[in-house]
Amino acid sequence: MFEARPRNGPLRRLLGRRSSDLRRTADRARGHWLVALALSPLIAVLCAIAIGVAVWHTETHAAHAEALHRHRVSATTLGEAHSTFPARFNSTRTATARAAWTYPASHRHTATIRVAAGTPVGGTVGVWVDHAGREALAPRSDGELASNAVGTGAAAFGVLALSAAGAVGLRLRRVEARSLAEWDREWQLVEPRWSGRMRKEPGADDD
């Protein structure tokens, strides 16, 4: 009866489990690090997704907390709009104008705010304020939060993937250096017999 021998597939060869007398320790180490390099993008993707989800939850919670302290009120412009700013993507051109509003009740505030270009004097515009009535940033939208989470995840993937590639590259260089040094030591032992040149014994030429 014939004994079945295990198949030596590519994965087994990389993992150093291929049955071969010529398989060296350095070969097995090199295979392990190559497998690690092949798996590093998948690990980086999983870590990036986890980081992006964590950022999404953290910033969403913070944005909802900020939104509780934001109020939309109506302000009246006190002067003409000027210093027009370039329009952003899919938005109107903006300018600045002096405006006044009341919030909370009986508390009047004035400030220079951004308004649509061409807003006349005495025009009504919306402004976001905090509990004290001071002008504040608008609550962040879900689209902005999602964009920040995706950007953070993408940056994390790039850093993790490059770091893994660099680390594996350094390890492979060390493995290669040790392998060459080992080959050199073994060659010094084998070469005299293999080439027919035997080492001289001490005192062999003495009379």
User: What's the whole-model pTM score?
Assistant: 0.62
What value does the mean pLDDT take over residues 92-114? 91
What value does the mean pLDDT take over residues 136-159? 93
- Is residue 207 predicted with pLDDT exceeding 60? no
What value does the mean pLDDT take over residues 37-50? 92
Amino acid identity of residue 125, one-letter, is: V
Q: What percent of the chain has pLDDT over 70?
A: 76
- Is residue 118 predicted with pLDDT exceeding 70? yes
Distances (CA, A) of 194 to 23, 111, 185, 197, 201: 21, 92, 14, 8, 17
Dist. CA 44–CA 41, nearest whole Å: 5
Q: How many CA atoms lie within 13 A of 144 on its CB side?
A: 8
168-202 confidence digits (pLDDT tens): 888 888 877 777 777 777 777 776 667 666 555 55
Per-residue pLDDT at 1? 40
Helix axes 142-194, 25-67, angle to 10 degrees: 170
Which residues contact residue 48 at a Cβ distance below 8 angstroms, ignoring those fewer than 6 apart?
153, 154, 156, 157, 160
Dist. CA 29–CA 176, nearest whole Å: 10
What value does the mean pLDDT take over residues 36-62? 93
Average pLDDT of the residues of the chain: 81
Are residues 22 and 115 in contact, defined by beta-carbon separation less than 8 angstroms?
no
What value does the mean pLDDT take over residues 105-112? 91
Dist. CA 99–CA 3, nearest whole Å: 92
23 versus 154: the higher-pLDDT residue is: 154
5-30 confidence digits (pLDDT tens): 445 555 555 455 554 445 567 777 77
- Is residue 45 predicted with pLDDT exceeding 70? yes
Dist. CA 122–CA 119, nearest whole Å: 9
Dist. CA 91–CA 86, nearest whole Å: 10
Amino acid identity of residue 63, one-letter, is: A
What value does the mean pLDDT take over residues 49-65? 95
